[in-house]
Amino acid sequence: MNMDETTNKGTAGLTPRLAQILAAVIEYHVATGKPIGSRFLCQQGGFEVSASTVRGELAKLEKLGFLTHPHTSAGRVPTDEGYRFYVDTTARERRSRRRVNAPGPGELEGEIEDSLRQCAALLARATGLLALVSAPSQDSTAIRHVEVLQLHPDMLVVVIITASGGVAKKMVIFDGAVDPGVVNWARSYLNEAVAGLELGSRRVMMRLEEPGLSEVERSFLGWLAPAFGSGGGSRGLYVDGVSSFFSRLEADGSSAIRSLMRLLDQQEEIVELLGTAISEQRVYLRIGREMPATAMRGCSLVAANYGLAHRNLGTVGVLGPTRMDYPSVIGSVEHTARSLSRLVEEIYN
């Protein structure tokens, strides 16, 4: 590449040459896992300047905080700030030129739960990293169908299927035997009265207490009412690629593997982190020290939301070491989120 020096300044005050050298260091480091030196860049990167000139530029980038160097090596490796600059500038251009590895037409199908599981598996396979997919919270989805089944004279199960394909079940045990005729009436009434309303909403609870209902009917629906509550707004998490993720961390010498294992086992912080991404209109990206949890600060998260035109329902994400192929991962996450949104639109409609 032609690397004539220019006085034009780019983002963060970098000249085009400094920006190109930074991009080259990051891309070669991601590919090799090794520190990158000036001689390597001149031999492999096509820079038409001397090694001493490149060495001086590397020193400038290090002084600016974009690169650092291990004590035992003359080569440089990117810092979190270097990755951030690269992602905000060069990586966006790079990803538009690459083939995106993500689910294609027909690869996601069936009910939403099966599709979320497929989505995580396909994304993990495409990126070689940890794929995370959050399910729509049950209290933010519309009721599609209600089934009331009598298992024993005094025992019922209420099954609520949401428009997103989610299923909520609640066992109800009465003090005595229940009239099957009331059970049949409740099934018919509920599908007519609450279909299309959001699970856990005030409107659903009002329908269960309609003044026009008889005392027996209102009393019976009162027993069933807990099944239509919010359920705490829980959001399921589908995870795939755990083995390859930890192998990558181990190869990069991460000291936080045990802490990350605990986070993945408990999942609360992961779900909360994905929850912060659901309101983002663009790709949600946190690199290294930008991550909220201390255990995650050797990692990066790339995430994008999926859902309907008027409401985001969940998040698709990839968690990996900071040394990741950002253009490819960002493209895969975006494409997967779009594919999942199309499927969700079909299910809702």
| pLDDT for residue 101 | 54
The residue assigned the tokens 């083995």 is 243
3-state secondary structure of 87: helix
pLDDT at residue number 5: 38
CATH class of 11-95: mainly alpha
Q: Is the pLDDT of residue 63 over 70?
A: yes
State the chain's mean pLDDT as an integer.
84
pLDDT digits (tens, 9 = 90+) for 21-55: 999 999 999 999 999 999 999 888 778 788 899 99
Q: Are 112 and 164 in contact, with CB atoms under 8 Å apart?
A: yes
Q: Give pLDDT, residue 96.
A: 52
When pLDDT is averaged across residues 231-251 and rounded to a whole number, the result is 79
DSSP 198: B
DSSP line for 104-154: -TTTS-SSHHHHHHHHHHHHHHHHSSEEEEEPPPGGGSBEEEEEEEEEETT
pLDDT digits (tens, 9 = 90+) for 280-300: 888 999 999 999 888 888 899
In this prediction, residue 237 has a pLDDT band, given cuts at 50, 70 and 90, of confident
Alpha-carbon distance 63 to 61, whole Å?
A: 5
Per-residue pLDDT at 6 exceeds 60 = no
As a whole number of angstroms, the distance between CA 70 and CA 191 comes to 65
pLDDT of 104: 53
d(CA 39, CA 336): 39
Residues of the chain with CATH 1.10.10.10: 11-95
Condensed to tens digits (0 to 9), the pLDDT of residues 306-326 reads 988 878 888 999 999 999 999
Instruction: Judge whether 100 and 335 are in contact, CB under 8 Å.
Output: yes
Distance CA 217, CA 301 (A): 51
Kindly indicate the confidence band of residue 137, based on its pLDDT and cuts at 50, 70 and 90.
Answer: low
Task: Find residue 158's DSSP bridge partners.
Answer: 148, 170
Cite the residue boundaries of each domain of the chain with CATH code 3.30.450.40: 112-136+235-348
CA–CA separation, 241 and 113 (whole Å): 18
**C-alpha torsion sign, points 178, 181, 184, 186:** negative
Dump pLDDT digits (tens) for 83-115: 999 999 877 666 654 455 555 545 555 567 788
pTM: 0.70
* Assigned CATH class of 112-136+235-348: alpha beta
Considering the chain, tell me which residue range(s) the CATH 3.30.390.10 domain(s) occupy: 139-233
Predicted confidence at residue 140, as pLDDT, reads 56
How far is the CA of 201 from the CAs of 125, 143, 313, in angstroms?
38, 11, 16
Q: From the options 3.40.640.10, 3.30.390.10, 1.20.1250.20, 2.60.130.10, give the CATH code of 139-233.
A: 3.30.390.10
Report the pLDDT averaged over residues 179-189: 95
Percent of the chain's residues with pLDDT above 90: 48
Mean pLDDT of the 250-266 span: 81
Residue 48: predicted pLDDT: 78
* Two tokens, residue 212: 């026009």
pLDDT at 223 over 60: yes
pLDDT of residue 198: 82
Residue in 50, 34, 32 with CA at minimum distance from that of residue 42: 50
